[in-house]
Chains A and B, each alone.
Chain A
């Protein structure tokens, strides 16, 4: 009995590692490590490579936050989450922030107790088909078998789209990318639908990406962005401005390669961003050079985009709506002052 009792006590202690999240920034600093919730594996957004290192645009947001808080972009770890569990783990405090291609919607922002801090990718639900199918529009898909990666809005959008156009389809819902992949490549379904970014990610993993076409129709708008728990605006600010710093850096033409030369710039707004002027870091509760660290270690938004999902990568996604606002896109950040 004695052992059993002491075992139970010890077990409780081991299992319940305590952490309070009233002040996430302090907790993160105390831990010396950022816990960032992301995907279980979506190439280009968050996926481990052969060496087990996580890479992707979502991971870069995590890295930027780590660079801002610790001055070290590697002081973070990716916690893979399923679409079902992602909000629960954020709310319970297991992770400090969520950067997992998650759509910013009213009910999530208001009702689920999340706070979205920005958008790092403007997405929309699309369709991927084999080129050999000879389909050029989603309106030709009457009677097709459709593989759906089970999310929260994907199957609803799909059902609405087909009902609206009075078309029929066979739905094959799958839990993860890998399954969807296996089923789609084998020809179990004609069409694969999820967010367009996901479709590009998927296509890039195929042996001959040119044999597959992403159809032009977008049947929903899906602004993807990082989120934090509701009610901790100090922490939300840190994440928001880490992302904004990456965007502003691109706008100003500062890259990880040339950031050092900008340290002696004449432009006051660049000096503010790099922490040479003003006490913006202190206001945020982090080091004053946080902007410099983010750009130096992670790069600006465009660099992250090109490195992970841009035209030179197998994903080959054009900037499109994700171009800078100065170039006709939607990527925009409030001024840094």
Chain B
């Protein structure tokens, strides 16, 4: 597998006599990572979540997450016998309007949205003949399987985190590379741009973007996941920009780049063929760090109703429902979303640390 890794970054010289090419820095990093037990375990966990995401996206798992398979607030199967007053009440008065367990509307800024959510959920509602009394990890208010919801929610949250981080890294790296390498007027312009974004507190910047994007009639078609990705990417590139810029400034004055200039390599060749592979490990670590950051941000945005709509469940919307459920003692939705997110984020953070250690180019 190391040959594959190598081939993608440093193609062996063409028409060379058959010969074992020495391991490059990427391969050495991979070897170091393989020795790091924590790193490998984290990698396995992350890959598991990614596979789950693909599985749920293609409909292999959690396909029926929106089906109301259980009674309202069905107990988790490990506490199947427990009393479930909510289900009894719902059954008793099926036609009655949905009961708000505890009215939090005065403290909850999202109160107006509940009606909207309930309405949307009602649309997806299908008539079920038989509803289970208990589900693997319990059910929500409408009797949907919480475990399936958590898997589907993971798909949304990871998708948003991954793509937002990818775009932020692309923006940050491109601008940082140009600014750091070119300097001068172009560099000043980009620095100005960077200063604008960083002089607005980050949270405020996100909220401002969210407010505008959400109310913009032109962008209405992109509401939901694409919009969250865009908000996070447009506001989150600054840290990567700063880092990549300083790396480029550092490398541009290194002797190997001067040597490339001396042999007549063009600017773009120096920027992308010479320097980029030498800072790519920084970008990779940043990417992985931002995935974590953006997953957390997505959860909060969705909770606030500025993220994905409720009909495409995410960990954030699950937590929004869980808040009022907890008061009536239904803790499983909170646990499912909170724990699955904690496991992924822990694994991702540890993988980031291991990556950083493995890629640390001390041997240079």
- Chain A bound to chain B: no
**Interface residue ranges, B against A (CB under 8 Å):** none
Which A residues have a C-beta under 8 Å from some C-beta of B? none
